[in-house]
Structure 1
Amino acid sequence: MPRYLISFEKGAMDHIPEEDFPEVGKAAHAVCQEAKDAGAFVFAGGLSYDDGDVEHAVVATDGMVTDGPFPESKELVGGVAIVDVPTREAALEWAAKFAVACRCAQDVRRFMDDPDLITA
């Protein structure tokens, strides 16, 4: 089946009051559990952008590593989910559920088909 990346940009949740984040987390986890129960869940998670976070790095073709953070970076990903579903419409349905749970719009993109890279 096709796999789809459902994601939102860093900062997309900035409008949410800090005290609401536990509720948002529970809602997002509930959607993940629903996707697991449906057999559609592959992976999900948010990305860390804490000040001084050196988990973000760029590796050049010559092997040179530059550690982040990179405040000038554009379109940084804030969070992702990967679903394995039969149709684009099904991916859009999961994205709608994540949009409600995370209180922000979700981007949906299909992974290119490459049978050599797909694992069970």
Structure 2
Amino acid sequence: MFAFLKNSYPYLKLRTQELTLLGKPKRPRSAYNIFISERFQEAKDGTSQLRLKAVNESWKNLTSSQKQVYIQLAEDDKVRYFNEIKSWEAQMVEVGREDLLRRKVKPPAKSAEECK
């Protein structure tokens, strides 16, 4: 009956604050996000919009081997996140807050060959 309240802004804001207070780990950053955070402060072209454009252009001009460094950092961050989220979820189960756990990930769909 009150399902619409779960999508309302005040509810989502309170839930986000609660998860932050309970120490839920932040999601992993992508290779692009890592690159932007490193280079954004170095760019001094004026407004933040112009700086972001300049950094974005430099990302586009990187070769795949240069991007590989950031891709590896992103993979490491993803591993960190999954380790931290598993331990955090175990803590929430101990406390009795199963309502805060992620939804279970569905197993991959079977291919047509496996179904035969």
TM range (shorter): under 0.3
**Higher percent of residues as helix:** 2
- The one of the two structures with greater contact order (alpha-carbon pairs below 8 A, sep at least 6) is 1
Q: TM-score, normalised by structure 1?
A: 0.27
